[in-house]
Amino acid sequence: MKVTVMTADEQILTIDVDPHETVENVKALLEVETNVPLLQQQLLFNGKEMRDSEKLSALGVKDEDLIMMVSGVESRPASNDLALNPDGSAVNPGALQQHLRRDSNLLGQLFQADPELAQAITGNDLNKLQELLRARHRQRSELRRRQAEELALLHADPFDVEAQKKIEAAIRQKGIDENWAAALEYNPEGFARVVMLYVDMEVNGVPLKAFVDSGAQSTIISKSCAERCGLLRLLDDRYKGIAHGVGQSEILGRIHVAPIKIGNIFYPCSFLVLDAPNMEFLFGLDMLRKHQCIIDLKENVLRVGGGEVSVPFLQEKDIPSRFLDEERYPKQASSSGTAVTSGATEKSPVPQAGGQTSGTHGDVTQKPDFEAKVAKLVELGFARETVIQALRLFDGNEEQAAGFLFGG
C-alpha cells in the first residue's frame, strides 16, 4: 500500500510499504529518503505516537493514509541529548543508552537483529557503544551508496561502454557476495585458520616438533637445529647450493644419515641443512615415501612404516608460537626449496672433484654417447629431465649420475 508522509519541514513523501511492516522498518526507509537518522524520527498517526515495535496494520494505517514525521530533536526542544553526530556517534552516549534501555521492545528486537549493539547498550562501555554506532552508520551509508549506484545503473544508457562495465562489475560482485553467503552457511570452517601438521619426533636423541609436509621435496633441518642435535659435525658441505621455492635459501650441505625416533621406533633419515632461522625441522616427501608414511586426517595421526607406528598430530596449543607466525615462518620455510607450498622444487647440488659445487656443463649433451646414457637411465624409471640434469651435474659420468638418482 502507499502511505503519504509529511515531514517537519512540510516535505511530502509517498512510500510503498507492506501493511504488516513494523514502524521501525518504515523509519529505516524514511532515513534513506530524508537523511534523518532513525533514532531522531518520531512518527505520528491520528495524533498518536507510533512505537517502533508496532505494525502498521495494528495501528489502523491504510492505503493513502497520512503519517506525520517530526525530528526527535524537535520533539524535545529542551534537550539535544539524543541527537547523533554526522559520523553516527551519539552527542550524549549516556543519555542515549538510558533512553534505549527504557524501550524494552526495541531492546528485544536489537538482541535478535544486532546482538552486538544490544550488548553494548546494556553494558557499561560507552566507548564501545560509540564505535558500534559509527560502524552501523558507515554500513548504512555504504548500503545507501550501493543502492544509489544500482538505481543509476538501471537507468543508464545501455549503449554506454562505461555503464556496461559498471553493470558487469555489479553482476560479478553480486555473484561473489552470493558465493560468500553460501560459504558462510554451508562451509563456515573454510574461514578458520588451518593449523599445519606437526608431530613429536626425536632427532639424534633431541626432542623436536617436526613439521610434516608432503608438498616438500626433501627433508630439511636448520643449521641451528642440526647444531643442537649434535649433527653439524656430519655436514657434507660439498652439497652446497641454492634452494628455490616461493623465495630462495642457501643450502649449507647435507647430512647423509642420522637416527630419528618416531613413537618408539628409530628410523634412518637424511637431511638437507638450510640457513633458515624460522624453520627448525621439516619432514618432507622423500622420507614420507621411504618409510611408507600415511597422513591420516580422519584419525588425525601420522602412520609410519605402513601403520606399525602411529603418532598424533599436535594441537595448536602444543605448537611453539614461533612456528605459528603467519608472516615470517611460511616465507622462510617455503624459500627452503622443499617448500611449504605445494609444487616448489629443490635445486639439488652435487659434489664435484675438489669439493666444488657443479656449474653447468654445456658440452656434455654434445657427446656422441649422451643420448644412449639418457635412454639407459630413463629405462630405470627416472624422468628424462631429471636424468639429463644428473648427467650434466656429473659431467656425463653415468655411474655417478645413477648413484645420485638412486640416492636422492
Give dist(CA 23, CA 298) in Å, integer.
Answer: 52
What one-character-per-residue DSSP string does 176-244 give? HHHHHHHHHHH-GGGGSPPPPPEEEEEETTEEEEEEE-TT-SS-EEEHHHHHHTT-GGG-BGGG-EEEE
Torsion angles phi and psi, residue 166, rounded to 5: -70, -40
CA distances from 372 to 143, 344, 360 (A): 71, 30, 20
Strand 206-212, strand 281-283: pairing: parallel
CB 334 within 8 A of CB 341: yes
Strand 294-296, strand 281-283: pairing: unpaired
Catalytic residues: 213
Q: Could you tell me which residues come within 8 angstroms of residue 8 by beta carbon, excluding any fewer than 6 positions away? A: 69, 70, 71, 74
